[in-house]
Structure 1
């Protein structure tokens, strides 16, 4: 008995009953319009009083509800009500307005079913409880039994009058059963009618891909700009600490280099945060560094950290497309960061930037360290970011040991880049 009582009168059943009552309330304006339409076919005093007239008005009103449900914003309203009151999992329902014909048709079908079931259950909820209460009280109040309310023509027999409380309670149980059944059917049909269509799933997948691309771009920018600065500052501070007592001039130069590096990194960090602002539709507050404008400063700051950097630039950075110039700068920055991170301040780096047919070739080489560096927790994303940058421009990236050197070679096509 307890499972049956929970099914008929439990919290979920009550919430679904409220959802049906809401559907009945939404159906009333359409029923009134239907009453105006069918009014000429019934006596004026019988349009709202006759059961046949009410059913006719209801039958005319439901198609009108289906037509109005074709508007895109009907689905968000219906989804919100179903998610809150029907206990349907949120991931099985669509988000946003219905924009395709299939989605609008499904929403119209759902809206019509909701208003249809809701109108019937609402009418029963208004009529049956007072009737059931009268039946339950009928044997105990002779005034009721003798009046028209007691329907003496029906309950005139003593045995039938004694059964009227049972009939009244059965009516209430039947009402609850009808409401639970209708609510359960709507909850079962909701994912099919209000769930995402193939077009909705495609749009959601495209949005997730766009969000992931923005996050990946931000991660690459932070890794390359801030990571390079921290590597350089770490080496400069370490070198200054070692010679603090006997070479104050070098310490002053190292501190000046640290100041310059951190000041520059603040500007680059602002540019990186501009990626987020671009995603939000705002203009970035600082220009992103490029090969044409910022390569010399990058080489100077790297050399100040200790490594010997030999750079050969045979391509004119000023003539490069802005996108290629920006991505090439980040690739060079990551190559120098790797050399600093794994080779220390005593390493040497050979950098070549040249045109290779219709592409820009960036090659960086540095000696392999005597011992393989211990893997850093969460590290290893720099070369992946370089490969991502090259792939997004239609280029290639190769990295690995060769003849005792660590070699990074990247080709970035120039044609078609803005």
Structure 2
């Protein structure tokens, strides 16, 4: 029994009933204003009302904002299982306008039927309870004063009318889902927007990992070296490097947080690019790793996105060198060849046996794996249409016999090629 009563007591039922009556009120107002009801029969009134309402609603549906207004109202009053099933966007195509017109006409038609049914049912219930012979629309009830069935029939009629409201509300909701649901183009645009936001957040996560990881590595190494050396001049220089590195990390953190908050001034802090690499090399040199850099990139050739990603990749390569090979020289070479940007970051391994054992040097993990930093570099390269490799290589001619850890990245200058 509760499942037959519960829908009659649900708030959604009465919210949908109100939504239905709004359509009836609209039809009544239009009918009273134009063409009027004076000296006209019921058939003529209904015919003129249907024609006038249909034409007026079809014209109103041409306004793009009408679809948004109807979608918001339907979400609030029809109480769908998921709000996403009913769009709240303005019309963008003629198909959207046609569906909006069909919705408006269907809504007003169903609301008009339910409005007359409501008045008829409620007046009939009143007549049954009071013993009156007539109800709405001239309907005459059987006259039988003193018969017990009349008061008993009133709750049955009221119960039936309640379920009529329930099913009419469900039908109205089904119409809204069918006619106000997002179009295929809107669903595709929404999916693309979600994917773009996800990619942006992943990019920001990599930015934070690279920037903060690099700053913490430099800070730890500088603080440890200052403590071991015990030279006041060296300690002062180390503190200066720590301060500058921390300031840059705070700038990166603030820029990332602004972007995550989606504030309108999210572009106030400039993303570092290739032109900022010399200061990054100075930081690594101050931490104790000599850096030999060769940057051969013609001006105005490197797109902004490649410049920024190149900076982050070099930053991660230097962070690995500082962490796993402190004090060792680092060679960085960036150049353009055959329409591709090539980047190579190499440093000698401090202990060749460590590379073979795979305990504490980068590159010891199996191919295709690695730390978060290396995975981030590979993801950056793939998203830009390039590739990245990292691992140990034999020392070249004139070397000292030690293996090198080499990070090599190749990116197309024209994105998407």
TM-score of the aligned structures, taking structure 1 as reference length: 0.80
Please point out which of 245, 262, 283 is paired with 1:261: 245
Q: Which residue of 2 aligns with 1:141?
A: none
The SS at the match of 1:180 is helix
Q: Deviations over 1:217-241 (max 9, x none)?
A: 3233323333212211121112223
What corresponds to 1:406 in structure 2? 405
Deviations 1:308-355 (A, max 9, x none): 3333x1515646435243332222111101222333x23432222233
- Work out whether 1:350 is the aligned partner of 2:349: no
- 3-state DSSP of counterpart to 1:45: coil
Give distance in 2, aligned partners of 1:125 and 1:272: 58
Judge which range, 194-203 or 79-88, deviates more.
79-88
- Give the distance between the partners of 1:31 and 1:80, measured in 2 at CA: 26
1:82 match: 74
2:16 is matched with which residue?
16
3-state SS in 2 of match to 1:339: helix
Using the alignment, how far apart are the partners of 2:322 and 2:269 within structure 1? Answer: 27
Distance 2:7 2:273 in 1: 67
User: 1:154, CA displacement in angstroms?
Assistant: 5.7
Structure 1 unaligned spans of 5+: 139-143
Aligned-residue CA RMSD (Å): 3.4
Q: How many residues align?
A: 391
Indicate the residue corresponding to 1:372 in structure 2: 359
1:214 to 196, 200, 205: 200
Contact 1:20–1:183 at 8 Å: present in 2 too? yes
Superposition deviation, residue 110 in structure 1: 2.2
Q: Is the 8 A contact 2:27 2:108 kept in 1?
A: yes
Equivalent of 1:284, from 267, 284, 308? 267
TM-score by structure 2 length?
A: 0.80
1:123-272 map, 5 Å: 123-138=116-131, 155-158=142-145, 162-244=148-230, 247-269=231-253, 272=256
Unaligned runs of 5+ in 2: 363-369, 395-402
Contact 1:274 1:285 in 2 (8 A): no
- Pair 339,105 (structure 1): closer, same or farther in 2 beyond 3 Å: same
- SS of match in other structure, 2:334: strand
1:113-170 CA-to-partner distances (Å, cap 9, x unmatched) read 22111112122223432332132121xxxxx67x999x998644457x5433344334
- 1:17-55 Cα distance to aligned partner (Å, 9 max, x none): 22212222333343345x41xx5xxxx6344xx533442
In 2, are the aligned partners of 1:400 and 1:408 still within 8 Å (CA)? yes
Q: 1:75 touches 1:98 (CA, 8 Å); kept in 2? A: yes
Higher helix share: 1
Find the aligned partners of 1:219 and 1:148 in 2 and give their Cα distance: 70
